[in-house]
Amino acid sequence: MKNVLRFILILLLTAAAFFAGTAWKINHENSGSRAKVEDLQKEQVTTFTEEKVAPTRNTEPVRGLDDAEKATISLFEKATPSVVFITTSDVRRDYFTRSLREYKSGSGSGFIWDYNGHIITNYHVIKGADKAMVTLSDQTSYPAKLVGIAPSKDLAVLKIDAPDEKLRPLRTGNSYNLRVGQSVYAIGNPFGLDQTLTTGIVSALGREINSVQGLPIRDVIQTDAAINPGNSGGPLLNSSGELIGVNTAIYSPSGASAGIGFSIPVDAVKWVVPDLIKYGKMQRPDIGVDFFPQRTTAQLGLNGILVKTVWKDTAAEKAGIQPTYRDRYGKLHLGDIIVAIDGERIENENDYLLTLENYRAGDKVSILVEREDKRIKLDVVLEAAN
């Protein structure tokens, strides 16, 4: 009996030792695995941290670039601080709560005009918006105030209060001497992707597109540099980094770039923007007359624009331009028909308005009118439009 008990006791101790050793081995292996996992996690965290704080743009010089590539890179780096991202919003009353809420309404591009914080963009970018925010290239944002609009030219001026050191105006060039085939560069924020550069050439000159008001914008630059939604209002630059146009529209069946983009020429921008900054609108010169609708003139079989009214104490009255009127017997007397201004043929009111844009208040022009089957030249001193 004692031998049996001794055998059972030895068996139990052996089993206990076996299970204790197995448990120690498993625990040791698990501890090693946990240590390896912790080491791996530390390595991953370290790698992630290093990637997170790494610079987003490689500033080291890249070897193997040709002169053309270096010039393009330099142009982009110098011009980028002048290009801005514009987001607009409108304020609407919630139908259920009746509280006012702000909703994003659109976005576009623009560029810094001067050190006073004036920003140039397209009118259609900010049309109908209650608020606008301007984001600079360093990602700082400023609320913008609307200064002036020129819907007939699809141009608008905003103003931000930013420190002088953040304002980098673009240098302005000329558009009258552009040549088809010369290189151009467009910078903007297509589809909200900020600071995007596309390159191309001047594809054609002297194009005509319609503004938001339906009036034609003449002498527009056509380019194949990719212009997409969001590029509107951004600059078109020449190879010297000078502003030569404001990107405004594309021709595309799909709505995306098809290689046909249009830019408002900088020569028009240079005379429109100062008026918008000073007066809030274009101060197109005028002579002080109203015209009959073009369909009325056409129905009468007349060429040119038929004067309906001559306003009192205006340049037209001083020059002797005659209005349409009825005499005391009820007989209708047609007014003067303006057919040319300084030799430029006038066929409709659009021709009249666009021709006067080439002048300033105070300039003297020669207006050719038809009056009772005679042609008469009248000298008119232009006045500022009311």
In whole angstroms, what is the distance from residue 386 CA to residue 383 CA?
9
Set 154, 194, 267, 286: catalytic member: 154
Tokens found for residue 260: 């046909």
Catalytic annotation on 118? Answer: no
- SS3 at position 92: strand
Task: Please state the φ and ψ torsions of residue 50, each to the nearest 5 degrees.
Answer: -65, -40
Inter-residue contact 238 to 187 (CB < 8 Å):
no
Set 109, 232, 257, 263: catalytic member: 232
In whole angstroms, what is the distance from residue 339 CA to residue 335 CA?
13
Inter-residue contact 341 to 369 (CB < 8 Å):
no
Inter-residue contact 247 to 231 (CB < 8 Å):
yes
Q: Residue 170: which H helix or E strand, with range?
A: none
Cα first-last separation, the chain: 129
Catalytic annotation on 31? Answer: no
Set 107, 124, 137, 351: catalytic member: 124
Catalytic annotation on 232? Answer: yes
> 110-130 burial by CB neighbour count: b if 16+ within 10 A, else e?
bbbbeeebbbbbbbbbbeebe
In whole angstroms, what is the distance from residue 227 CA to residue 208 CA?
17
Chain position carrying tokens 């560029």 = 111
- SS3 at position 18: helix
Tokens found for residue 123: 């009118």
In whole angstroms, what is the distance from residue 177 CA to residue 334 CA?
43
- List, by residue number, the catalytic residues: 124, 154, 232
